[in-house]
Amino acid sequence: MANNQTLLNYLMVAPPSLPTQNTNKTPNTTNSNYSWADIDNVGQWPEFTYTHIMHHYGTLLQQVQIASEPMPNSPPQPINTEPMFALRFNTYIQSRLRRALRVGFERLAPQLANLHLTPITVDIGDAATIIDNYRPDIAFFRANSALNSSPNRCPGDLKVSWKWGSEYRTSLVPADRREYLQVLSQVNYYMRQHHAQYSFILSDTELVPIKRLDSNGNLLVARAIPWEAQGPGRLTILLGLWYLGMLGAADNDWRLL
């Protein structure tokens, strides 16, 4: 019989550090439909914390049992492009996150209607509805839905650390501050397309959760979660993504026109 662990402990591990090699700092994606100038204000999202998550879902996370699954420990190959990082995301994070979401919703099944939750899953952005041929890197969407039929309730974007980081926000280099806003404008556009309130940027060094306040470029950004964070009482990449999934599952909350 497989060894089990709590869902919380399952989400407390960190993916292995990703070595980089021969990286080249180039501008991030630009498009005529969005730009850094679209972002009017960026505030703090103080509620996105370990304490807040445990207040809402601590009982579920500590009671649900899931088959233990060690994080792959073979040293990852170096990366120097976003497609290479996307492959590492699939290897170390996506399947584990999908399992965690599934077992959580299975436990909540009798209460889903009362809680106004719709079970969701995670995949690349192509799996959700595709709008005007724009494809976010990651999609949280209704589980067991036909491909391309469900809104992306929490569109996510994968970036690499040598092109974007949360520290760019306060950089003394104007070009870095502009790049910071440029990437926010990209995910803001995805959120507007899908009428979603939540999003995130994940790089090989950090997870940055984002909340949209309106359609005028006003956003809240949570404190970045380090890639290497792990262990009891820590907000990890996996726990942060799982909670973003739960926010996307909330029928009365995920949507923002």
6-52: pLDDT as tens digits: 999 999 999 999 999 999 888 898 999 999 999 999 999 999 999 99
State residue 1's pLDDT score.
43
The single-letter code of the amino acid at 184 is L
Q: For residue 233, give both structure tokens.
A: 């009482």
What is the pairing mode between strands 41-44 and 65-67? unpaired
pLDDT above 90: residue 134: yes
Are 231 and 239 contacting, i.e. CB atoms less than 8 angstroms apart?
no
247, burial (CB in 10 Å: exposed 0-12, middle 13-18, buried 19+): buried
Beta strands in 46-180 (DSSP E): 65-67, 120-124, 138-142, 156-158
Are 249 and 118 contacting, i.e. CB atoms less than 8 angstroms apart?
yes
21, burial (CB in 10 Å: exposed 0-12, middle 13-18, buried 19+): exposed
Domain range list for the chain? 36-44+79-249
pLDDT in tens, 68-127: 999 988 889 999 999 999 999 999 999 999 999 999 999 999 999 999 999 999 999 999
State residue 2's pLDDT score.
62
pLDDT in tens, 171-219: 999 999 999 999 999 999 999 999 999 999 999 999 999 999 999 999 9
Question: 36-44+79-249 has which fold?
Answer: tt1808, chain A (3.90.1570)
